[in-house]
Structure 1
Amino acid sequence: MKKVLLVAALLGAFALTGCGNRQVIDTNWTFTKAKIVIGNETIEVNVKSWRDYQNDTQIQIVADDGTVYLTDKVNVLLIGK
């Protein structure tokens, strides 16, 4: 009986994930500050919102003052509470 339940659980997991190629749980991360490297300078901003792009290395950060920063993820340090 345990083997049947295990096989059913595995098949259900594969069905939910499209044969293991998709994210089952969408996690939301909240960040309050970001350190962004621009040239030789590092700035710190308060984060209003942010977005990363699937299958890409870009990230967009909207600061509290409305300034939008679009850069590569390697240039950003997001800081939580």
Structure 2
Amino acid sequence: MQIKSINWNDMSDFGLIVRINKEILHPLGLAISRDLITGFSEKVLVADDGIWEYAVSVESRVMSDDAIKLKLSEKILK
């Protein structure tokens, strides 16, 4: 069985980085960072003041679980 994978750019396309940051990491003063070209994430950023917030325009890109599952299935079936 071959294990399939996606990179952090895919995670961003699915709105998952926003969700992980907003729901889990931002309240802790942390944020995932990634290289837009390679799709790799080498580090988590730490806020100087302990606060991270997204602009409303970024938060509006969050997808439902069903939309994420559909997009993921389309991606890995290619």
Q: Which has the higher contact order (CA 8 A, sep 6+)?
A: 2
TM-score, normalised by the number of residues in structure 2: 0.25
Larger Rg: 1
